[in-house]
Every structure is written in C-alpha cells, then in structure tokens.
Homo-oligomer: A and B are copies of this chain.
C-alpha cells in the first residue's frame, strides 16, 4: 500500500516533488454545499509559503492555487476537489552536488535504499514542499469545521530555548500572524526572533515546540479501539517532517503526576451540561473527545539543512567526506509549521466529524 492518502471519510491524496512541475492534492469526501473559493485556500497557502519573512527560506513561490474540480457555482458538489500549485522558482541544478551524497538529518540515503533511485532535487518528495497539499486540503477542512463551530489554532510556544508564557485563545487568534515566529506572546516572540538570527549567522538551525488547540469539538468524537481521536492525531502530527514528539493535555508531565492530580473531576455547568473542572486530559479520554478544548503539542527538530560542516559519505565513491549544505533553507521550522499542523489537526477532526455522521451536506444546504 502506498502512503500518500490520509483519512477515511474525509480523505486527501497529495502528490508532487519540490522541484518537479507542480504539487497538489485531491480532497475526497467533502460534503456537498460548502461555499468554497480559491481565496479560502490561498489564504492558508500564503501562511505556509516560502519567502514570506526572514525566518523562512528565500525561495520565492507565490504558491497560487487552482481548483480544478468539485466546485460548481461557488459550492462544493460532493465530488473530489483537485487542487494544483505550479512550482515557479524551482532551481533543480542547485542540487546536482547531492545526487550521490546524503545530507545528515535528511531522508536522502533512505529513499535511495528504499527505491533504488530518487529525485534528488531539493529532496524531491521528502521535501517540506509536500506540505502544500496538506495545507490546501487542510484549508477546506478548516472551512468545513468552522461551519460547524469548530476552530483550530496553532502557535509556537518554544523556540531555540525561549519559552512563551501561557496565552489565551484570544491572544493566539489576535497575535499569531502578527509575528514572523508565530508566537502569541509578543515579548517571547522578540527573543525567539533573536535566536533565529543568531542561528542563521552561525549557519546553524534551531528547534521548538508548537501547541495546537481546537475549540467547539463535540463530545464523543473518535472510534475505539485503534482509531481513537488521540491515536489519529498523534499519527497525523508525527507524519509531518521534522516532528519528533506528540503529547496530549498534560502529556509527558503526567508521568510525574498522581491519579488524584491528573483526573479531571466532573462538574455541572449552570446550563445543566457536564464538563470537567480541569483539562489535564487535553480534551480526550479513552480516545473520545470530552467536549473540552482539545490541546496537544509537537516537538519540532531544528532544520537539518545547515551550512556548518558535517560528516557524510559519497555513495558513488563510497568514501567519507564533509558536506556544507547549500541551497535555500529555513533557519527554523516551527513558524511555518503552524499552518501545516493546523491542517493536520483539522483533517483529523473533519474526518471524524463526517465518519460519525455529525458533519454532512444536509446541514450545509439547509
């Protein structure tokens, strides 16, 4: 089984290489009746696109999306939505020197091993550029979710060792796109930016942590035993390049907690609904959503492409050598990962909303 399709009831199939003709996605399972224009998708792609600031690669791509199917008279029809983004600023020649030389921290060597043959230009399919398809698909998922009152947000909470203070959902909404590092704590954002500049000057790169929040998620979403909501979220987020860890709610801190601290007590709201008093569970218990805000965090490794000297092996001569990775690269990944991570979470939620029968065209068209 090939691995370029994600989701069950709401499903994306992405395709394309970093320096090929184009990248794109087919989104299948979108209910009929959603108002959708290219602008809805473009907005998210522009948050992801390279060249937008000093914390991202200077590769200049407008990432203009074209919707080729599945929308008629401004509304989705229930048939697959195919979206296409042409690669404009490809510079494949710049990668000739790595044709036989695997870059440390990259998948080069393992693609060679797996396929016996690879498109080495900019990492080909293993490039972060494959996330264009995720974000285009995620834009539709987000629009769909918002019709049902579900909002998905992400923000950088740690970068190069600088931690943001606790922020509110409102602060995230207001601030996250106001700083190039996408941290909602504006003071921490300044310090993070310094760390990025420092790393860039050193020819090095830095890692960080992105937090995701979804509000408005109804209770009971997720399917026992293997398709639990947290299992699907973990798989979705870990599938993004450079992510090395995923945690939900209290996450790794729960290892040091007692049951009496970790358990979220049930209490009644004035309107008679039952909620949990705390949210250490991060909105998921037993693999099902609790109705509380869904909270998770991902650990993002520092960009593997650095201009510092590193050891590698020339696979044609089979000799050890040093490499300084050239080309256009991001000094840090978390800021541009914000829309990508939001997309993956939105895709999981849309999938489960449809799968459980909650999200359908009857609602949209009424």
Known: A106-B285, A225-B239, A266-B313. A124 touches B72 (CB 8 A): yes
Contact A238 B249 (CB under 8 A): no
In the complex formed, the residue of B with least CB distance to A6 is: B226
Residue of B253, B265, B312 near A310 (CB, 8 A) is B265
- The complex places the Cα of A114 from the Cα of B4 at a distance, in Å, of 28
- Kindly state the separation between the CA atoms of A300 and B13 in the bound complex, as whole angstroms: 31
Given A260-B204, A288-B111, A365-B117, the answer on whether A28 and B13 have CB atoms closer than 8 Å is yes
Residue of B nearest to A355 (CB): B1
Asked if B306 contacts A259 (CB within 8 A), the reply is yes
The verdict on A171 contacting chain B, using a C-beta distance below 8 Å, is no
Q: CB-CB < 8 A to A285: which residues of B?
A: 105-107, 110
Q: Which residues of B contact A318 (CB under 8 A)?
A: 268, 272
- Check A39 for interface membership: any CB of B closer than 8 A: no
Q: Name the residue of chain B whose CB is nearest to the CB of A242.
A: B254
Number of residues in A with C-beta < 8 Å to the partner?
151
Knowing A9-B1, A235-B235, the reply to whether A263 touches B68 (Cβ < 8 A) is: no
Residues of B contacting A237 with CB < 8 Å? 234
Given the known A-B contacts A115-B32, A265-B312, A320-B268, are A224 and B126 also in contact in the complex, defined by CB atoms under 8 Å? yes
Asked if A238 and B246 make an inter-chain contact with CB atoms under 8 angstroms apart, the answer reads: yes
Known: A1-B9, A288-B107, A357-B360. A199 touches B258 (CB 8 A): yes
A149 beta carbon closer than 8 Å to chain B: no
Interface assignment of A79: CB less than 8 Å from any CB of chain B: yes
Known: A3-B222, A32-B116, A206-B259. 14 other contacts (CB 8 A): A22-B69, A32-B117, A33-B117, A105-B264, A125-B225, A158-B256, A207-B256, A234-B234, A234-B246, A244-B247, A247-B247, A260-B306, A262-B302, A268-B318
